[in-house]
Amino acid sequence: MFDVLIVGGGAMGSSIAWHLASDPAFSGKIVVVERDPTYARASSALSASSIRQQFSTPLNIHLSRYGIGFLRKAHQLLGVDLGLKEPGYLFLASDAGQPAMRANHAIQSAEGCAVELLEPAALRKRFPWISTEGIALASHGTANEGWFDGPALMQAFRRKARELGVQYVGDEVVGLAPHAVALRSGERLEAKTIVLAAGPWSGEVAALADIALPVEPRRRSVFVFDVREPPGPTPLVIDVTGTWVRPEGRFYIGGTTPAEGNDPAGAPLEVQHQEWDDMVWPTLANRVPAFEAAKVVNAWAGYYEYNTFDQNGIVGRHPEVESLVFATGFSGHGIQQSPAVGRAVAELILHGAYRTLDLTPFGYERIAAGRPVRELNVV
């Protein structure tokens, strides 16, 4: 019998494993069941790996604030250099989007975020390479936002967890009960606590125990492009359409959110090149004239672990099946939150309650109660 069994060894599952195993108060046995040790389809390996403070939900701000502090100390904590860059995020709003941006700004300011609102003239002054056509307001994060090597973070959590005695089993969970899982190999593993951290497949895994969990795989394409004349130092820019772009080494990466109705669950993991032609390139070329000459040099597709209920993480114990703990549904902001969620879930398992950040509002209970904690800034 294991003390803790974690389904899914991506950034979330491996962070939970490492936070538990590295806590001196914990002396139990941990096993992580990961069906694909190459992580070919895992979100953590296909992420844009960016981190921000600009959320509309205070708890998300706090999760990511712990995240950036953790990333800065990654060398000391995990022995890895994550190449953290901190040029900030720049959200753009049209006239229609202005009230929501101001409301989000009020929340972020109250939470102590370093954010400034820029009217078009100030925006042009700060970022002369941007076209302010159709822009009424911009929100610029001046600290604690940027990007990093997400796959390296996941691998470091995994490596360090294993060094501390966590066992990784390369198998697939095909059956789920309160204290046991059935594996595709035919083996059965028992545990006092089972953590569901199966990323985009978490809804499927929960269904094995007849538990409804509103988390499904939603495909997102990322395009890597080159430009002849780079515009200059660039934050991560999110256009009014949701199309985004940021530097990646000497290249740029960008993508968009498919229209609702054209975003089915579990679509094949194939790059949607028409998204570049129809949406990403026209939007970016219009917003940043230097991107008119963009040339795609690579692309990939990955799944968001999309929470259809309210696009926020689902974290904590199942209200009736108390041996089952969720850590999923982060809808495109999970890799930056993996350090804080790992710490929180470890506290919950070890001490029976959260000790630092109280993640109770992200509990499963809100779903049954129909009480969404809706995150408006989902990119």
Ligand X SMILES: Cc1cc2nc3c(=O)[nH]c(=O)nc-3n(C[C@H](O)[C@H](O)[C@H](O)COP(=O)(O)OP(=O)(O)OC[C@H]3O[C@@H](n4cnc5c(N)ncnc54)[C@H](O)[C@@H]3O)c2cc1C
Residue numbers at the binding site for ligand X (CB under 6 A):
7-13, 33-36, 39, 42-44, 46-50, 172-173, 197-201, 205, 220, 222, 302-305, 328, 330, 332-336
CB of 151 to ligand X, least distance (A): 9
Is residue 179 within 8 Å of residue 323, measured between CB atoms?
yes
| Cβ-based nearer residue to ligand X, 39 or 127 | 39
CB of 38 to ligand X, least distance (A): 9
Q: What share of the chain is helix, strand, coil (3-state, %, to 5)?
A: 30, 25, 40
| Cβ-based nearer residue to ligand X, 281 or 326 | 326
The count of other CB atoms within 10 Å of the CB of residue 59 is 22
The C-alpha atoms of residue 216 and residue 366 are separated, in whole angstroms, by: 18
| Cβ-based nearer residue to ligand X, 87 or 134 | 87
| Cβ-based nearer residue to ligand X, 201 or 281 | 201
The H-assigned helical ranges of 111-149 are 120-126
The count of other CB atoms within 10 Å of the CB of residue 119 is 12
| Cβ-based nearer residue to ligand X, 105 or 220 | 220
CB of 305 to ligand X, least distance (A): 5
DSSP 245-287: EEEETTEEEEE-PPPTTS--BT--S---HHHIIIIIHHHHHHH
| Cβ-based nearer residue to ligand X, 10 or 141 | 10
Q: What does DSSP say about strands 167-169 and 89-93: parallel, antiparallel, or unpaired?
A: unpaired
CB of 339 to ligand X, least distance (A): 11
13, burial (CB in 10 Å: exposed 0-12, middle 13-18, buried 19+) = buried
CB of 289 to ligand X, least distance (A): 25
CB of 4 to ligand X, least distance (A): 15
